[in-house]
Amino acid sequence: MLKKISKIPFSGTPEQEEQLRACINESKHDKHLLMTVMQKAQDIYGYLPFEVQKMIAEGMDVPLEKVYGVSTFYAQFALSPKGKYNISVCLGTACYVKGSQQVLDKICEILGIEPGECTMDGKFSIEECRCVGACGLAPVFTVNEDVYGRVKPEEVAGILAKYN
Amino acid sequence: MKSLAELAAIQDKVKDSIVLPEGSGDVRVVVGMATCGIAAGAKPVYDTLTDGAKDLSNVTVKQTGCIGICQFEPVVEVYEAGKEKVTYVKMTPEKAQRVVEEHLKGGKVVEEYVYNYKPDQTDGGYGTLAKSDFYKAQKRVALRNCGVINPESIEEYIAMDGYKALGKVLTGMSSDDVIKCVMDSGLRGRGGGGFPTGRKWSFTAANKADQKYVVCNADEGDPGAFMDRSVLEGDPHCIVEAMTICGYATGATEGYIYVRAEYPIAVRRLEIAIAQAKELGLLGKNIFGSGFDFDLHIRLGAGAFVCGEETALMTSIEGNRGEPRPRPPYPAVKGLFAKPTTENNVETFANIAQIILKGAEWFASMGTERSKGTKVFALGGKINNTGLVEIPMGTTLREVIDVIGGGIPNGKQFKAAQTGGPSGGCIPAALIDTEIDYDNLTSIGCMMGSGGLIVMDEDTCMVDIAKFFLTFTVDESCGKCAPCRIGTNRMKEILDKITSGTGTQADIEKLEELADHIKQSSLCGLGQTAPNPVLATLRFFRNEYDAHVIDKKCPAGVCKALLTYKIDADKCKGCTLCARNCPVNAISGKVKEAHTIDTDKCIKCGACMAGCKFGAISRG
Ligand SMILES: Cc1cc2nc3c(=O)[nH]c(=O)nc-3n(C[C@H](O)[C@H](O)[C@H](O)COP(=O)(O)O)c2cc1C
Ligand code: FES
């Protein structure tokens, strides 16, 4: 999978670093826990910038290329920061058959960005996902934790307006 | 937990709270709070009910898993001692408040909120879910506790005979007895392949090693399928129990559950279940005083479809890129951390405790000659009743679509049902009387898959669907082997050509040839099955491919490049609405005169057709 790598400079806080160090210390006895650490790191920073990957590699005592290899293999690891509101449009089969592509197109049109990108003001980012498990409500998209089901393209603008 | 008697004591203590004793006047209210329920707004409904019932000593309000009728979420069910349960659908906090006042306090059912409410019905005005077409033909084995018990309470699981099978196994059966029982039941893997579960266990059992593992595949990669999620969210303890039984049978003392990270609620409930089982000594050391130890860990996936493949899954648990390994050696010989490992799907495990308790014959009495038991399907797409259904093997597709599914919405024609996700194929309308089991589906070039069943109607373009699945496999190919990495890309390019109107007959032939090569030479199941959706649609819907390449038309009206919009001059009243709706000003005409579309400018968005009040615009 090709990933968009962010050029936005890294701006981690000392608190974040402390959290990350704590979770590395918890797991460094077992290198198999690399992915678990990376998942926690992403929870802490919202994405996995190069600087964070380096800290993980050093802390877990694994080669950096291995961390990078894992981070680029799995769709969930983000190398770019997400917007304040991350929109995730389900392109699972159930949603696709019910027209989620049109919903995605509409969202992209309104925000003027493509999936994988973030708006200039850092407010919205869009990603595609595969089945959030709410197929009964297809087509589905989520904005951060909020789930919107049975969405029609013409309703998109109204929903996005709530996040201004 | 030291003995069966101790377990029975817990069961006695809590049983009455679920199976309400006749004449007790007790009321149990459950709110469906799986992912879909919560997404539809079950939380505020639950809060309203809990709050409203807090002064009613005879009423308990509990959360539960998926009740199965997804499009009616949020769902609330009220159980009263000695009465048929009442199913309230599409609930809101306001409606819940009325249920509190009129039903829980006043004893009168609020009929208009009940499932299948028909005002003119004579027998009480509302239908019961259990007797509905949707439910009648179903048989719940794997889902027996989903939507019934509170998944976050081990006591409620025990009340429904939970951990009794584990007790039976550890206090009175040898590991050979357990394997024989599973083998005799005829249970086959529900993760897609359909490999006999008992045989799989016997392979691992036969290998000597200092450490063996049990792995539960809860990666559920098929997009559009949510059976495993529902089991995990609705009945997590049944997986904990079955994995422990498997550990005993195969000689493993540690287990891993690999769950996709997209299922946070399932993960949380599994964590709770494991912690509760540990506290009661149903996991850990010397379970049931038998000397058998077993421990469980959870690992999260990170969104890679190939990690559903068993060897890739194990590589991922080990903390690596989830690339598959060549087989042999099979996991039973060299699996997780290079130790003998048994890997089964969630739904496979969900059947185990019942098989142990009720016996192999009981299980084998359901289903067909070579496919025993039931199968859970996530019914979705163009169907009236979307939801989770569990049917005996051998049920016909017709029954699933017409009866359980309630037919196709808006009076449209059924075209095909897709099973097996990106590795599967489709069953066309002509074969709607196919009895669903492993072998019948394989014989028509389809596969059971893990249980996604997506219904498509006349508005679905089969070429577009094939392209959809191929786009998926192109994205998800791990890149380790060339046939899959490159081959699927070439196939997708051809499908792009066909759907954009530049395809030729030779392209279709090339597609078939490529498919054949990829199937034969890919490293793992992902590549070996990736061409299936193309081959299946080519087999049953060749005419649609031909229409795309020869006539340059998309019969279903999906492939935009092949569409043209036309205004019927006789029907057009010249109202100008379409011209005003058109985002690119491609429509011209005078007021009260027939309008025309400039096809060069037209971007085929369909806004004109959607808005026309006279049905004057057609697409072809
Ligand atoms: C590409 C690919 C994806 C798979 N995805 C899943 C999955 O999501 N869930 C699953 O249980 N099995 C999946 N399988 C099947 C597993 O490899 C394995 O056969 C199965 O989990 C075995 O369990 P069972 O015998 O209980 O069915 C997948 C196989 C392939 C080739
Ligand atoms: S396909 Fe979209 S939620 Fe399942």
Using the beta-carbon criterion (under 8 Å), do B300 and A33 form an inter-chain contact? no
Nearest to B475, CA basis, from A125, A74, A96: A74
Using the beta-carbon criterion (under 8 Å), do A140 and B454 form an inter-chain contact? no
* CB A93 less than 6 A from any atom of ligand 2: yes
Do the beta carbons of residue B269 and residue B233 sit within 8 Å?
A: yes
**Ligand 1 closest atom vs CA B220:** 8
Residue type, B355: I
**Ligand 1 closest atom vs CA B524:** 31
- Residues A124 and A160: their CA atoms lie apart, in Å, by 9
Q: What is the CATH number of the domain that holds B433?
A: 3.10.20.600
Domain containing residue B122: 14-133
How far lies B462's CA from each of A91, B234, B426, B510, B620, in Å?
17, 35, 10, 18, 16
Q: Is B144 inside any structural domain? A: no
Using the beta-carbon criterion (under 8 Å), do A137 and B73 form an inter-chain contact? yes
Same-domain pairing of B101 and B175: no
Say which residues have a Cβ less than 8 Å from residue A164's Cβ, sequence separation at least 6. none
Nearest to B507, CA basis, from B527, B491, B523: B491
Say which residues have a Cβ less than 8 Å from residue B501's Cβ, sequence separation at least 6. B548, B552, B559, B561, B562
Task: Return averaged pLDDT per consecutive 10 residues of chain B, 620 residues in all.
Answer: 92 89 89 90 96 93 92 92 90 96 93 81 65 90 95 96 97 97 98 94 97 97 88 97 98 97 91 98 96 97 93 96 93 97 98 98 96 95 92 96 94 95 93 95 90 93 95 92 96 96 95 96 94 96 96 91 91 92 90 92 85 89
Whether A77 contacts chain B with CB within 8 A: yes
Do the beta carbons of residue B437 and residue B394 sit within 8 Å?
A: yes
Cβ atoms within 10 Å of B300's Cβ, excluding its own: 21
What DSSP state is assigned to residue B445?
T
Q: Is B556 inside any structural domain? A: no
Using the beta-carbon criterion (under 8 Å), do B318 and A32 form an inter-chain contact? yes
Confidence band (pLDDT; 50, 70, 90) for A82?
Answer: confident
Same-domain pairing of B325 and B467: no
Tell me the Cα Rg of chain A: 17
* CB A70 less than 6 A from any atom of ligand 2: no
Name the domain boundary from B457, B473, B501: B457
Give per-residue burial for B410-422: e unless 16+ CB within 10 Å, then b: eeeebbbbbbbbb
- Residues B183 and B166: their CA atoms lie apart, in Å, by 17
Say which residues have a Cβ less than 8 Å from residue B263's Cβ, sequence separation at least 6. A133, B35, B218, B220, B229, B232, B233
- Three-state SS string over B248-273 comes to HHHCCCEEEEEECCCCHHHHHHHHHH
- Give, to the nearest 10 degrees, the angle between helix B532-540 and helix B462-476: 170
Give the nearest partner residue to A76 out of B302, B305, B472, using CB atoms.
B302
Same-domain pairing of B431 and B500: no
Same-domain pairing of B262 and B350: yes
Q: What is the CATH number of the domain that holds B286?
A: 3.40.50.11540
Name the domain boundary from B457, B477, B494: B457
Q: Is B191 inside any structural domain? A: yes
Q: Is B558 inside any structural domain? A: no
Same-domain pairing of B490 and B569: no
Residues in chain A, how many? 164
Residue type, B387: G
Do the beta carbons of residue B149 and residue B157 sit within 8 Å?
A: yes
> B512: phi > 0 → left, psi -120 to 50 → alpha, else beta; which?
alpha
**What percentage of chain A has pLDDT greater than the value 90?**
63
Do the beta carbons of residue A50 and residue A65 sit within 8 Å?
A: no
**Quick one: closest CA in A to B458, which residue?**
A97
Q: Is B140 inside any structural domain? A: no
Question: How many Å separate Cα B4 from the centre of its chain?
Answer: 34
Q: Is B369 inside any structural domain? A: no
Q: Out of B220, B250, B259, B310, give the residue to mutate to test ligand 1, the one with the largest number of ligand atoms within 8 Å of its CB.
A: B310
Same-domain pairing of B426 and B339: no
- Residues B168 and B186: their CA atoms lie apart, in Å, by 20
Do the beta carbons of residue A133 and residue A157 sit within 8 Å?
A: no
Say which residues have a Cβ less than 8 Å from residue B338's Cβ, sequence separation at least 6. none
In this prediction, residue B538 carries a pLDDT of: 96
Q: Is B559 inside any structural domain? A: no
In this prediction, residue B125 carries a pLDDT of: 52
Long-range contacts at B83-87 (CB < 8 A, ≥ 24 apart)? B84/B128, B84/B130, B85/B128, B85/B129, B85/B130, B86/B114, B86/B126, B86/B128, B87/B114, B87/B115, B87/B128, B87/B129
What's the token pair of residue B188?
Answer: 């086959």
Same-domain pairing of B21 and B88: yes
**Ligand 2 closest atom vs CA B225:** 4
Q: Is B62 helix (H, G, I), strand (E, B) or coil?
A: strand
Name the domain boundary from B457, B478, B511: B457
Place of tokens 């009740």: B67
Global pTM reads: 0.92
Do the beta carbons of residue A77 and residue A115 sit within 8 Å?
A: no
Nearest to A128, CA basis, from A159, A96, A163: A96
Same-domain pairing of B379 and B493: no
Same-domain pairing of B426 and B477: no
- Residues B511 and B519: their CA atoms lie apart, in Å, by 12
**Quick one: closest CA in A to B39, which residue?**
A147
Ligand 1 center–CA B345 separation, angstroms: 7
- A-interface mutation test, from B265, B305, B320, B382, most A Cβ less than 10 A away: B320
Q: How many domains does chain B have?
A: 5
- Residues B118 and A156: their CA atoms lie apart, in Å, by 33
Same-domain pairing of B178 and B323: yes
Q: B380: which chain A residues are within 8 Å (Cβ-Cβ)?
A: 93-94, 97, 135-136, 138
- Residues B294 and B175: their CA atoms lie apart, in Å, by 14
- Residues B363 and B355: their CA atoms lie apart, in Å, by 6
Residues in chain B, how many? 620
Say which residues have a Cβ less than 8 Å from residue B255's Cβ, sequence separation at least 6. B213, B214, B215, B216, B243, B244, B246, B247, B294, B295, B296, B297
Ligand 2 center–CA B309 separation, angstroms: 21
Residue type, A65: E
Q: What is the ipTM of this complex?
A: 0.86
**Ligand 1 closest atom vs CA B217:** 11
Secondary structure E strands in B74-150: 76-80, 86-88
Nearest to B522, CA basis, from B471, B485, B467: B485
Question: Torsions phi, psi of B188, nearest 5?
Answer: -120, 155
How far lies B200's CA from each of B182, B340, B344, B450, in Å?
10, 11, 9, 18
Same-domain pairing of B529 and B513: yes
Q: Is B163 inside any structural domain? A: yes
Give the nearest partner residue to B35 out of A35, A73, A133, using CB atoms.
A133
- Residues B186 and B361: their CA atoms lie apart, in Å, by 9
Same-domain pairing of B43 and B89: yes
User: What's the gap in Å between the CA of A7 and the closest CA on chain B?
Assistant: 23
Q: Which of A72-76, A99-103, B166-170, B584-588 has the highest mean pLDDT?
A: B166-170
Residue type, B441: L
Give the nearest partner residue to A135 out of B226, B263, B456, using CB atoms.
B226
What's the token pair of residue B385?
Answer: 């009743």
* Sign of CA pseudo-dihedral B186, B187, B190, B192: negative
